[in-house]
Amino acid sequence: MDPITPQTLAGLLNEVRNRRPLVHHITNSVTINDCANITLAIGGAPVMAEAIEEVNEMAALADALVLNIGTLSRSQVLSMLEAGHAANRRGIPIILDPVGAGATSMRTDSARMLLEDLKIAVLKGNAGEIGILAGADATVRGVDSEKLNGDAVAIAQDFARQAGIVVAVSGQTDIVTDGRRTVFVENGHPMMGRMSGTGCMAASMTGAFAAVTKDHVAATAAALAAFGIAGERAAAHASGPYSFRIALVDGVSALIPDDLGKMAKIRNL
């Protein structure tokens, strides 16, 4: 299979901007506004709907579904299952962000249930979350990765092959793999880890890119590279975390395909 190149990613950004995919979110209350705005900034159309009475209909209209368990409840998980089954029937991609999996049994069990009951396209999390769900030796504190013992690349690859999904491990270097192809994304800035919501926003952007291609490795790499480039630019203008947040959203909005073509730092394994 041909390697993924910066030009591949640039073409996907052009597709997102041309098609303006509708991205249905069932996400957490802490970052819901950030997720909506970053989806708009990259060129998608967000809808934030979790009432079980309407998620089936909403998923039937959408081009992608993003599920985020950051502030989960039993009723929200039931809505995620309902929306997820509707998305699977339509064949639209589901992105799962298992926030805090490993920190509590409810989070871990809920993430595992969603993975088992739904056909997930992309699982995006930090090293601890992915390690826990892969059955590796990992720990999570709150919603932060504490430790993953072992080779993160090999763990992600094995998990992706076994589950039949794309696994994205966020970090200083992001790992994106389906078990056959593995791409490293090295864009980003440390400021992105100093405020809440960046991981959730990255999942929203992944939903927008996954909506326009069946190559979900390339879509995920494009989302993470685009977000990272915007973060690099935002850090040059920000004086602190909140000015960085504003500059980050502005930076995503200002991205053009040529930026990805020239600035995406990706490596194919």
pTM confidence score? 0.94
Cβ–Cβ < 8 Å for 42, 252: yes
Q: What is the pLDDT of residue 2?
A: 78
Domain count, the chain: 1
pLDDT in tens, 215-229: 999 999 999 999 999
pLDDT in tens, 105-127: 999 999 999 999 999 999 999 99
Q: Residue 180: give the domain boundaries.
A: 6-268
Q: What is the pLDDT of residue 46?
A: 98
Q: How far apart are CA 64 and CA 62, in angstroms?
A: 6
* Residue 161 belongs to some domain of the structure: yes
* Residue 1 belongs to some domain of the structure: no
Residue 145 has pLDDT above 80, yes or no: no
| Kind of pairing between the strands at 166-170 and 144-149 | unpaired
Q: How far apart are CA 48 and CA 194, in angstroms?
A: 25
The alpha carbon of 72 is separated from its chain's Cα centroid by a whole number of angstroms, namely: 17
Residue 140 has pLDDT above 90, yes or no: no
* Residue 20 belongs to some domain of the structure: yes
CATH of the domain at 203: 3.40.1190.20
Nearest Cα to 110, choosing from 219, 195, 28? 28
The two structure tokens encoding residue 258: 């040529």
* Residue 220 belongs to some domain of the structure: yes
pLDDT in tens, 155-206: 999 999 999 999 999 999 999 999 999 999 999 999 998 888 899 999 999 9
∠227-213-56 over CA atoms, to 5°? 95
The two structure tokens encoding residue 152: 């993160």
What percent of the chain shows pLDDT beyond 70? 96
The β-bridge partners of 26 are 67
Q: How many CB atoms lie within 10 A of CB 37?
A: 17
pLDDT in tens, 51-72: 999 999 999 999 999 999 999 9
The alpha carbon torsion through 187, 21, 79, 170 (nearest 10 deg) reads -10
The two structure tokens encoding residue 184: 């490293």
